[in-house]
Structure 1
Amino acid sequence: MRKTLGCLALFALAWVSAGARADTYPSKPIRVIVPYVAGGAADITARVMAQKMSMSMGVALVVENKPGANGMIGTDFVAKAAPDGYTLLLDASGPLVVNPSLYARKTPYDPLKDFAPISQIASYQYVLVVPQKSTIRSLDDLVAQARAHPGQLSYGSAGVGAGGHLAGELLALMTHTQMVHVPYKGNAQALTDVLSGQLSFTFDTVVTSVPQIQAGRLRPYAVSGPHRAAVLPDIPTMEELGYKGFSITQFQGLLAPAGTDPRIVARLHDEVVKASRDPDVVRKLVTEGGNDMVAGTPEEFAAQIRSDLELYRKLIQEANIPKQ
């Protein structure tokens, strides 16, 4: 009996202590881990949001870059961090929903079990572009040329499993064509070779293509998401052009380690929503960054992760993309 009472007392003390931590959160700086190099899309989103949330929360949100292994090093770091709300992850689709199906070796973390989703902050899509001097005059023309000359059209992307690669594979599957994928170490290199005519086309991020489109160096034919891009309102979606169900987007979201107090998750979600409505954040991430702001609930973000895991599992399998 005495032992049982002692255990109950310890449990009660731990519960009260956890509650006190949630009530006083945050009381020190918060680390926001970005599993990519500085300057990329996720890093920019992290720094814009961290600056605004810091002002509201009264503590610094410090962005730390931990790149490597296609985003898996930084993602795993947060999966194994203490679930106290002071180590967060600003991640994109790749490590969470693509890598589990892309790699032969199991990822060191479980995207469904090792994280507490806080909010999908934003999403971005891709635009199919060809060089200005290309003989390809439309999306239908591109498909017709691919059918007439199997294996002759080429497209580049930021690497195997990148959004631009997966969009190209989905197009090939839906049109029953063979096109050559050329992987690069970043979107910039792929875009350079499209501009020079070395590649037939690419699915590039909207934000990096817009300046080239405006300068007349690229011709855009379609965007990859479920709706038109705000910065390219005259360019139709793939679905509008007849490719029913074609949707390739990349999310950027905030997560905590699994086991984080739900009250801390709720507080962080509220701060994400507040920051996402700030005009300065909208200007930097939407008007200049080409993103769509989402700021969804933790439950919606968890559902998005589950849905995208299945989407990319099927696509990688059906496209016979080799395991990395």
Structure 2
Amino acid sequence: MSSWRRWTSGIWLAGALVLSGGQHAVAQSYPARTVTVVAPYAAGGGADLIARLMAQKLADRLGQSFVVENRLGAGGVIAATSVAKASPDGYTLFMGTSTQLAIQSTLHKRLAYNPGEDFAPVAMIASVPFVLIVHPSMQVKTAGELIKLAKEKPGTLSFGSSGVGGPPHLYTELLMSMTGATMTHIPYKGTAQAMNDVVAGHVPIIFSDLAPAVALVKENKVRALGVSSSVRVAALPDVPPIAETGVPGFDAVAWLMMVAPAKTPKDVVAKLHKELRSIVAEPDTQKRLVAMGVIPLESESPDELQRYVKSEMVRWGKVVQQAGLAGSQ
């Protein structure tokens, strides 16, 4: 090897060691100040409560404050954009949902961030199953019976949702695309308003997350036809998956993932990943997450999560396109 090559190789190796050592030092001292965890929805909602639970547990473990900040608007786009553009130093995190990290990219004509490129996934926290419910006056008791009725009366049945492009809307669109049924969409400004009208009988059908639905099901104010996940859920153990009651292969759940801005030091991401995996595995955390109506998950690695986000963008992008909603926002 020439002296020139030995010299340049030595410089490259020294630079790599300095960079590696610097990142390791950053991870060792992290966090050295307060960390902001951005939540995309209002205080008191599911994503907010889970963000606060993770923030408190991280603070207890790492000895620094993790403060939740709710940044509302545009279905979480404002929150996601602010984190995508934040300094990639580990001091701004995002409790993202599948809406911001998979669905919005196709729903919007222009999105100020790319979910698959502008975030560094840290850890998957939980999946969020939904339940298909109807007003008790409807003479159907399974998802299969509902589909049969919808096919007999195309377009005459209506279904509510929390808004255009949200999970309740897209899950029904997926159900219709898989079965050939047609129903009419009635969007509301939030789940609470939609659920009130289902209970009152003004709109007969909705996919709801478990938190507001379980009590109504148990009080017989609504009838549960099936859960959207491929497995039963603890909160409604007697309600079978839709896939077992007339729509084989149906599996649609929202999910919550902690992410950081892209280019956040890998050692910092790895440290947070390890802590969050341990936190979610704690019996206390599991119990509290289940009580919130979600399913705690054992997170895959950050690299695997990156691939998962991209695959979910493709999956839900097809549903959005089939529903005629691509670029509608």
In the superposition, the TM-score normalised over structure 2's length comes to 0.91
Structure 2: distance between partners of 1:156 and 1:264: 42
Paired letter, 2:144: D
Q: Which residue of 2 aligns with 1:129?
A: 133
Contact 2:130 2:208 in 1 (8 A): yes
Query: Quick one: percent identity of the two aligned structures?
Result: 38
Q: 2 CA distance for matches of 1:111 and 1:142?
A: 35
Report the alpha carbon displacement of residue 132 of structure 1 after superposing the two structures with TM: 2.1
Judge conservation of contact 1:146–1:179 (CA < 8 Å) in 2.
Answer: yes
1:101-159 alpha-carbon deviations (Å, 9 max, x no partner) = 11122x11111111110111001111111122323333233222212222111111111
Amino acid at match of 2:61: S
Match of 2:299 among 296, 301, 305: 296
Q: For residues 125 and 34 of structure 2, what CA distance do their matches in structure 1 show?
A: 21
**Distance (Å, rounded) in 2 between the aligned partners of 1:226 and 1:276:** 21
Cα shift at 1:175: 2.0
Q: Does 1:115 align with 2:116?
A: no
More displaced stretch, 229-238 vs 91-100: 229-238
* Moved beyond 4 Å, runs of 4+: 7-16
Aligned runs of 1:52-63 on 2, under 5 Å? 52-63=57-68
Displacement of 1:14 in angstroms is 5.8
Q: Does 1:30 align with 2:35?
A: yes
CA distance in 2 between counterparts of 1:170 and 1:267 reads: 37
Q: Which amino acid aligns with 1:302?
A: Q
* Corresponding position of 1:249: 253
The counterpart of 1:226, out of the listed 223, 230, 234, is 230
CA distance in 2, matches of 1:290, 1:15: 42
Is the Cα–Cα contact under 8 Å of residues 83 and 256 in structure 1 kept in the other structure? yes
Aligned partner of 1:20 in structure 2 is: 25
Is the CA contact (8 Å cut-off) linking 2:23 and 2:267 kept in structure 1? no
**Equivalent residue for 1:266, pick from 267, 270, 273:** 270
Match of 1:184 in 2: 188
**DSSP 3-state at the match of 1:33:** strand
1:67 to 53, 64, 72: 72
Secondary structure of 2:243's aligned partner? coil
CA contact (8 A) 2:56 2:66 kept: yes
Tell me which moved more, 130-139 or 143-152.
Answer: 130-139
Secondary structure of the equivalent of 2:87? Answer: coil
CA distance in 2 between counterparts of 1:80 and 1:53 reads: 23
CA displacement at 1:234 relative to structure 2: 1.7
- Give secondary structure in 2 for the equivalent of 1:142: helix
The C-alpha deviation readout for 1:154-184, integer Å capped at 9, x for no partner, is 1111111111111111111122122011111
2:205 to 195, 201, 221: 201
- State the AA in 2 paired with 1:296: S
- Name the SS of the counterpart of 2:202 in structure 1: coil
Give the conservation status (yes or no) of the 8 Å contact 1:272–1:295: no
Distance in 1 of aligned mates of 2:86 and 2:19 = 19
Offset of residue 22 of structure 1: 1.9
1:237 alignment partner AA: P
Q: Does 1:211 align with 2:177?
A: no
5+ unaligned residues in a row in structure 1: which ranges? none
TM-score normalized by the length of structure 1: 0.92
* Partners of 1:30 and 1:85 within 8 A in 2: yes
Match of 1:83 among 78, 81, 88: 88
Contact persistence 2:38–2:68 (CA under 8 A) = yes
More displaced 10-residue stretch of structure 1: 214-223 or 130-139: 130-139
Cα deviation, residue 265, structure 1: 0.8
Helix, strand or coil for the counterpart of 1:43? helix
CA distance in 2, matches of 1:32, 1:267: 16
